[in-house]
Each structure stands twice: as structure tokens, then as C-alpha cells.
A and B are shown apart, each in its own frame.
Chain A
Amino acid sequence: MLEVRNLTKAFGGKSALRDVSFKLEKGEIYGLLGHNGAGKSTSLGIILGMVEPDVGEVEIGGISVQRNRGQALRKVGAIFEAPAFYDYMSGWENLRILMGYSGGFDARAAREVVERVGLTKRISSKVRTYSHGMRQRLALAQALLPEPELLLLDEPTDGLDPEGIKWFRDFILQLREERGMTVLFNSHLLAEVELMCDRVAILREGQRVFEGSVNRIRDGVPTYQVSLETWEKGAEIVRSLGGEIIAQDKIALPAEIDPAQFVERLVHAGVKVREFARVRRSLEDVYMEILDGKGSPN
């Protein structure tokens, strides 16, 4: 659905992106992570044709954005952090104007979308009277109106309250479920990315330093929290199984070792087990490892 190939871009001699590539399959939700200035927004700008890459190309549905932007963006919707509407006009007028740039305004379709995002009562009010959450709903409405197959989300939940964030997440997941929509999700909120995305890429200083599925990140090397009465004996068993002692109460075991067997061996050896639990790595753990330079680029 979206293919980003070898993007390289510098602004005034300062490198913003270096040979970044990634690919989104239809119906996939893909997270783009990185610190400020890592190149996420530049990537999005190039995908939308707002920024011209020095090297590389973006294809949406097989059509090059750089060579045929109008055709490539026909079925694309985008939402930005703090979306800038024409504040002195109503939400409805904003939709009408923005849809004019997409080739036409269908009032019936607009009413349906407005209803769906829950803005019907306030759609005739001036946008300057809207709360941040309402602006995001209007942003979602304008992004959905061209009936997009690809949705680009740039920090869409920044500044929303927890209820707003949950509503937004559920809405996007529902869209994917109903329409098989492909989503590129650019965010700082790692927990949100983990909950929404199938795969993620991490950018650091303009380079892609990680790409992988969220499940793979979660599973990784099995790690366990253990509390034993006699630690020395337990550590010996861990090592004999090819495991690793990470800390006094934390161990890693090879994936092929059944944790039940491990506990059984401890009990047989007379080691009293007070606590044993699987520790799941979060996306945040992986993100911090990679940005601290501990993780290996792939």
C-alpha cells in the first residue's frame, strides 16, 4: 500500500533522513517512532509531497508521489498534531473548503462522517470555539471524507485527555476492522503505539535503527521474575540450562526451555520457589535500549 524507498534528505547541509525505507501492507497499522528531530515529520512530509527528497521515492498504491502526486494522494487522509483549521469559519465550511481541494464536496457523505466522529451538534459553530478534542474530531472527519485507503497520523493524540485517546484508538482500530484501512501512526506515546500497531520502526538521527512486529518485541527472549530461598543453587540450574542471570531476581531462559520444567528442576533440587512470573518487555523497554545504543540496528 505504501512503500518508502531509500529516502535521504538534508536541510541546509544538515542531514534529516538517511536512506530510510519501510513498507506498509494493506490493512496494516505501522508505528513510526523516534525522538524530536529523528526524521518522523520529514518522512511524513515526503510521503505527502510537501518535502522533496534528495534521494529516494515514495509510492502509494504503486503510484509515485514524486512523479504523480495528485493521483497518488487521491485516497489518502492525514491528521496532524494541532491541526490548523480556518478558525474564523465553521467546522462545516472548513470541511467544504478542504474537500474542494480533493475534487468535490459531497454534503451527504460529510454529514455521515460528522455524525460518526460525534460533531453533529457543533459542526456549524466557528472552529475557534472548539476544544482540542473537537478539533481532532474535525481533523478525523476531513481525513475520512475522501474515503481514504491510507491514513497518515502525525502525533494525533497529543494533548488529548485519556478518554479522548481511548476514543481515538478505538475509532482507528474499528476503521481498520471495517474498511481494511492502512495506517501510518507517528507518535511519541509508546503505550498507544504498542496498543495500536502491528509493526513499528524506530528512527534515530535520520536513520531507521529498528523495525519489527510489536508481538516480536513483546515476546523477545523469555525473561522471568524469580524469588528463591537459596539463590546460588537456582543460579546454577539457570546456567546449566543455557540461561542468563540478569539480576538477583531476574533471569532469561532460552526460548526452547519450558518454564514449567525449569520450576520442576528447582523443586527437585530442593530450592524453594516463592515467586515465578514471566516478564514481558514493553515497547518502551526496546525503545529505550535502542536509543541508549544498547539495541542493535536491523
Chain B
Amino acid sequence: MIFLQQLRGELRKLFARPRTWMGYGAFLIMEVVILMVYKLERSQQHMRGLVERNGLEFGTYYSSLTITFTIMLLSMFLLGSIYFALVAGDIVAKENEDGNLRMVFARPITRLRLLLVKYTAICLYTFSFVFFVGVSGYAMAVWAVGWEGGLFVMEPKMKVFAAYPRWSEGAARLALSAAGIGISMITLSSIAFMFSCFRIKPAAAAIITLTILFVDMILQNFPFFKPYESWFVTWRMSAWVYLMEQQISWPKIVESYSVLVGLNVSLFTIGWLAFQTRDFKT
């Protein structure tokens, strides 16, 4: 009960900060731009070619569901990661920098509990942000092209191809993929959270996290590392795409998410140990 009260306070703090809302604004703008691009004739022709080459009817798959899926596929890892790293990198380091932590430490709360509250808040923020992008993207896409139509999925890197002509099935898969992306992105937030627990500037925590993510992504694309791709965090984080397969490969998904959960626990533990052994001078 007290944990929930503390969590509510943490979320209130998180969502009272203007920086937290920057990401929401940026994504809304990006969604508008993507929708405008989708309305262009050339863009529609490109998509028509892609759909029809696979023997499918363009009219069925030029839909709000397909557009929403594309928005999430393209934007979440690149643009989303920036905001997750910023917010999670701030959550401890910024409070230390601003002096808020010493006010908190005058209270009888343990450091472990404080970190658990903050980490839970960050996980909820990450998860809800992904759903916000999905819902807002879908709402805008409905406004632009109408609600009807199926879902067309093509992700060459993970070798996933699927088509769901019925709206209900497509919508269910899209919701499932949003949950998958949310869980995947928690790993990114966990990296930033861990650095935030160190004696570090908040911006440094975000920059180091993004550096790790991008280096991991770049190396993963080197042909040399192809046999070792499962060792890369970003490859594991992409496992959500398997949720879009016609026949979901649950073993592959469970394996990747087990690795990610293990990694998240390790990152939290390292952050906690660093935080626990630190001195906070008044």
C-alpha cells in the first residue's frame, strides 16, 4: 500500500516535468509527418508495389493498422530510445544533481526501496509511452485513411512477413506487438537507469546509453557478426517482431525475453549496488 503511494508520488513527479512530455510532442509531430508522406502519390505507389508483388490486394492493406505498424517499426528504436534514455537517465542522477535526494534521504526509506519505486515508475513510463505512440498513431491514421482494412507486415531483417486481412485480427496483433515493444524498450530504460545510479551527470547517463544502443546496432549489422547476432542486445530487443508472424514462434520469443529480463535484473542490481555504496554529502 505504501509502495503504491510512493509509486504514485514518483509518477506524479515524472509527469509533472516538462522534459517527460517532450517525447510525446515529438512523436505526435513525427506521426503527422509520416501520415503526410503516406498521402503522397509516390509513397502509395511504392507501397502498392510492395503489397501487390506479394499477391495481395493493395486496397485491403493500405490501412490505418499498416500505417500504425510502420510508424512503430520505424520510430520506436531510433526516436523512442532518445526519450527513454533521457527520462530514465534523469530519474536518479537529476535528483542528485538538483539536491532533491538529500531531502528524500532525510526520510526513513531504504535506498533499495527508493530505487524499486523509481525503476517501477520508469518501466510504467516506457510501457505507457509505447502504447501512447500506438494509440495516437492509429487515431491519426484512422482520421487520414479510415478505420477499415487489414494489417500488412514486412520486416526483412528478422525475416518476418505476414498479412491479416481482417481488421480484428490485425488490431489484436498490433496490440500484442505494442506490448512486445514496450517490454523490449524497458531494457533500454534499464541501461539508462543503471547509469543514472552512478556518480554521473544525467545527460552523461543518457548519452552513454544511446552510445551503447547504437554501437550494438551498428556492430550487429556487420556481416562478420552475423553468426553472433543473438549476443546483441538490440537483436534480442527486436524479438517483438516475431509476435507478428502468422504462426507465432513462442520459443524464440520466450528465449529472447528471458535474456532481456535477466539483463534488466542484472542492470538494476548493478545500479543498486553502486547507489547503495555511495556517500551523499549534504
Known: A93-B12, A97-B9. A84 touches B106 (CB 8 A): no
Known: A89-B16, A104-B5. A84 touches B107 (CB 8 A): no
Known: A51-B279, A51-B280. A98 touches B108 (CB 8 A): no
List 20 additional A-B contacts (Cβ < 8 Å) besides A41-B282, A45-B280, A80-B102.
A45-B279, A48-B105, A48-B282, A50-B102, A51-B281, A73-B108, A83-B99, A84-B103, A86-B13, A86-B16, A86-B100, A93-B12, A93-B16, A97-B10, A98-B104, A100-B5, A101-B6, A101-B9, A101-B107, A104-B2
- Contact status A98-B282, CB under 8 Å: no
Interface hub of A45, A78, A100 (most chain B Cβ within 10 A): A100
A44 within 8 A of B: yes
Known: A80-B102, A84-B100. A69 touches B108 (CB 8 A): yes
Distance in angstroms from A90 CB to nearest chain B CB is 9
Alpha-carbon separation in the docked complex, A72 to B106 (Å): 11
Interface hub of A41, A97, A103, A143 (most chain B Cβ within 10 A): A97
Query: Which residue of B98, B110, B281 contacts A69 across the interface (Cβ within 8 Å)?
Result: B110
- Contact status A84-B5, CB under 8 Å: no
Mask: chain A, 76-105; 1 = CB below 8 Å from B; 0 = not: 111010111110110001001110111111
| 8 Å CB interface, A10-49 against B | 11, 41-42, 44-45, 48-49
- Contact status A96-B9, CB under 8 Å: yes
Q: How many A-B residue pairs have CB under 8 A?
A: 98
Q: How many residues of B contact A (CB 8 A)?
A: 29
Known: A97-B12, A100-B6. A84 touches B102 (CB 8 A): yes
Query: Which residue of A42, A98, A152, A154 contacts B107 across the interface (Cβ within 8 Å)?
Result: A98
B100's nearest neighbour on chain A, judged by CB, is: A84
Alpha-carbon separation in the docked complex, A42 to B90 (Å): 26
Taking Cβ atoms with an 8 Å cutoff, the residues of A that contact B are 11, 41-42, 44-45, 48-52, 69-74, 76-78, 80, 82-86, 88-89, 93, 96-98, 100-105, 142-143, 146, 152, 154
B109's nearest neighbour on chain A, judged by CB, is: A101
Which residues does chain A contribute within 8 Å of B8, judged by CB atoms?
Answer: 100
- Contact status B104-A101, CB under 8 Å: yes
Known: A70-B108, A70-B109, A89-B13. A98 touches B103 (CB 8 A): yes
Mask: chain B, 253-282; 1 = CB below 8 Å from A; 0 = not: 000000000000000000000000101111
Interface hub of B8, B106, B277 (most chain A Cβ within 10 A): B106
- Contact status B110-A142, CB under 8 Å: no
- Contact status A88-B16, CB under 8 Å: yes
Mask: chain B, 7-34; 1 = CB below 8 Å from A; 0 = not: 0111011001110000000000000000
Alpha-carbon separation in the docked complex, A104 to B12 (Å): 16
B2's nearest neighbour on chain A, judged by CB, is: A103
Alpha-carbon separation in the docked complex, A86 to B279 (Å): 22
Alpha-carbon separation in the docked complex, A117 to B18 (Å): 30
Alpha-carbon separation in the docked complex, A77 to B103 (Å): 10
Query: Which residue of B12, B103, B108, B282 contacts A85 across the interface (Cβ within 8 Å)?
Result: B103
Which residues does chain A contribute within 8 Å of B98, judged by CB atoms?
Answer: 84
Which residues does chain A contribute within 8 Å of B100, judged by CB atoms?
Answer: 84-86
Distance in angstroms from B106 CB to nearest chain A CB is 4
Complex A-B, nearest 5 residue pairs according to Cβ-Cβ distance, in ascending order: A84-B99, A101-B107, A78-B106, A73-B108, A97-B9
Alpha-carbon separation in the docked complex, A71 to B98 (Å): 27
Which residues does chain A contribute within 8 Å of B104, judged by CB atoms?
Answer: 98, 101
- Contact status A45-B282, CB under 8 Å: yes
A71's nearest neighbour on chain B, judged by CB, is: B108
Distance in angstroms from A188 CB to nearest chain B CB is 14
Which residues does chain B contribute within 8 Å of A44, judged by CB atoms?
Answer: 282
Interface hub of B8, B13, B109, B279 (most chain A Cβ within 10 A): B279
- Contact status A82-B105, CB under 8 Å: no
